[in-house]
Amino acid sequence: MTTFIQTLIDGLSLGSIYALIALGYTMVYGIAKMLNFAHGDVIMVGAYAVIASVSMASLPPVVGLILSVVICAALGILIEFLAYKPLRKSPSLAVLITAIGVSYLLQNLALLIFGSEQLSFPQVINLPDFAFAGVQIKGVTLATLVITAVIMIALTLFIKTTKLGKAMRASSEDKDAAELMGISVNRTISITFAIGSALAAIAGIFYGASYVYIKPTTGAMPGIKAFTAAVFGGIGSIPGAMLGGIILGIIEKFSQAYISTLWADAIVFGVLVLMLVIKPTGLLGKDIKEKV
């Protein structure tokens, strides 16, 4: 029984990271209607930004965290402007290939700047760990869960109620009609990317706090898994991203603990394939009929 609860908590801890990453993924996908493959690598940039400012330049941690969020938001706008904007009207294949290009570009830039050796994330978030009845919970896990929930609620409210949020939904629904109503679609999408990338920076900070070691390829695998989580919960749905992330983390940990660590990869990806084939709209996604 202790093993069961401990595994559940380990899954929650991993899942909360997936959920945090998936929030940014699903937001960009829901509004810009494109799969931002580079999202995972923005997380890596966010983590490196903290390392560079806190560990290397010895800035106070708070400044480092804010800097990281600002850098990533700016990076998001820059990527959108340089790589995605020229492809607004292209088929999704072209956009996806470009996104893969951006992902590799970020990884290789980080490789040139920081080298292939792993760097340690500074201890900017110091929280005590809890233990009761033989079960251990890390403070960082609780913090990640709380922050993910807060962001989820804030994002939902933002998109539902604010003017900008409405503009985002309008741009997502019908770009031309939104343009006719006086909404600047380009600006709206830029802001979406800025918010998405700022979320990625926060995810990067919590990833660094939980797993300590950062490499240029750090973002790739969590990025893919978080996308899986976003699809699982229904891509475009913000509560779905959180739900999907946590469920995926729990599935991964339980398959490691109770089935086999040898097959953990296959199981997680198998879940993704099954989910996409059986219910492509995910747990909380909306079914949109294709128009001719």
Partner 1 sequence: MKKFARIASLIMALAMVLTCFVGCTADKEGGATPGEDGLVELKLGCIGPLTGDYANYGTSVQNGVNLAIEEINAAGGVNGFKLTIDFQDSQGDPDSATAAYGKLMDDGMKISLGTVLSGEMTAVSAAAIADEILLLSPSASAKDAITGNDSAFRVCFNDPQQGTVSADYIADNKLATKVAVFYQSDLDYSNGLYENFKAQCAKRGIEIVETTTFTKSTNTDFSTQINAIKASGAELVFIPIYAAEASTFLTQAYGKLTDIPLFGCDGLDGILTKVSDTKYAENVMMLTPFSADDTTENVKKFVDSYKKNFNATPDQFAADGYDAVYAVVEALKKAEITPDNFEDDDFNSKMVAAMTQITVKGVTGTMTWTADGETNKAAKAMIIHDGVASLYTSEK
Partner 2 sequence: MKNNVLKKLFSKNSITIYIVVAIYAIFSSLLYTDNLSRQLTNMLISVSCYIVLAVSLNLVVGFLGELSLGHACFMSVGLFTGCISSVLMSNVIPSVYIRLPIAMILGGLAAAAVGFVIGLPALRLKGDYLAIVTLACGEIVKNAITNINMTVESADFEFNGAIGLNTNKYGIYIKDVGELLPYAIVLVFVTIIVMMNISKSKAGRCIMAIRDNRIAAESIGINVTYYKLIVFVLAAFFAGMAGVLYGHGNSFAAASKFDYNMSIEILVIVVLGGMGSVRGSIIAAIILRALPEMLREFSDYRMLLYSVLLIVIMILNANPKFADLKGNLSIPKIISRLKNKDKTVKEAK
Residues at the contact surface with partner 1, assessed by CB under 8 A: 3, 6-7, 10, 13-14, 111, 115-118, 120-121, 136, 211-213, 215, 217, 221-222, 252-253, 256-257, 261-262, 264-265
Torsion angle of the four alpha carbons 99, 104, 108, 109, in this order, in degrees rounded to the nearest 10: 0
Q: 241, 239, 247, 250: which is closest to 200 by C-alpha?
A: 241
| Residue from the set 35, 214, 238, 246 that interacts with partner 2 by CB under 8 A | 35
Distance separating alpha carbons of residues 229 and 246, to the nearest angstrom: 8
The one-letter amino acid code at 67 reads L
| Residue from the set 66, 78, 87, 149 that interacts with partner 2 by CB under 8 A | 87
Range in contact with partner 2 (rule: CB under 8 A) among 184-192, 200-208, 221-229, 238-246: 221-229
Rounded least distance, CB 152 to partner 1, Å: 22
Rounded least distance, CB 212 to partner 2, Å: 24
181 binds, among partner 1, partner 2, none (CB under 5 to 8 A by kind): none
Number of residues that bind partner 2 (CB under 8 A): 44
Range in contact with partner 2 (rule: CB under 8 A) among 99-107, 122-130, 154-162, 180-188: 99-107
| Residue from the set 2, 91, 126, 176 that interacts with partner 2 by CB under 8 A | 91
142 binds partner 2 (CB under 8 A): no
Rounded least distance, CB 264 to partner 2, Å: 8
SS3 track for the chain: CHHHHHHHHHHHHHHHHHHHHHHHHHHHHHHHCCCCCCHHHHHHHHHHHHHHHHHHCCCCHHHHHHHHHHHHHHHHHHHHHHHHHHHCCCCHHHHHHHHHHHHHHHHHHHHHHHCCCCEECCCCCCCCCEEECCEEECHHHHHHHHHHHHHHHHHHHHHHHCHHHHHHHHHHHCHHHHHHCCCCHHHHHHHHHHHHHHHHHHHHHHHHHHHCEECCCCCHHHHHHHHHHHHHHCCCCHHHHHHHHHHHHHHHHHHHHHHCHHHHHHHHHHHHHHHHHHCCCCCCCCCCCCCC
Q: 196, 241, 242, 243: which is closest to 99 by C-alpha?
A: 196
Contact between 229 and 244 (Cβ < 8 Å): yes
60 binds, among partner 2, partner 1, none (CB under 5 to 8 A by kind): none
Based on CB atoms, which residue is closest to partner 1, 92 or 120?
120
102 binds, among partner 2, partner 1, none (CB under 5 to 8 A by kind): partner 2
Based on CB atoms, which residue is closest to partner 1, 217 or 281?
217
- Phi, psi at 123, each rounded to 5°: -80, 80
117 binds partner 2 (CB under 8 A): no
Rounded least distance, CB 115 to partner 1, Å: 8
Site string for partner 2, 265-284 (x = CB under 8 A): xx--xx-xx--xx--x----
Rounded least distance, CB 35 to partner 2, Å: 4
Residues that bind partner 2 (CB under 8 A): 34-35, 82-83, 86-87, 89-98, 100-105, 107-109, 111-112, 224, 227-228, 231, 262-263, 265-266, 269-270, 272-273, 276-277, 280, 290, 292
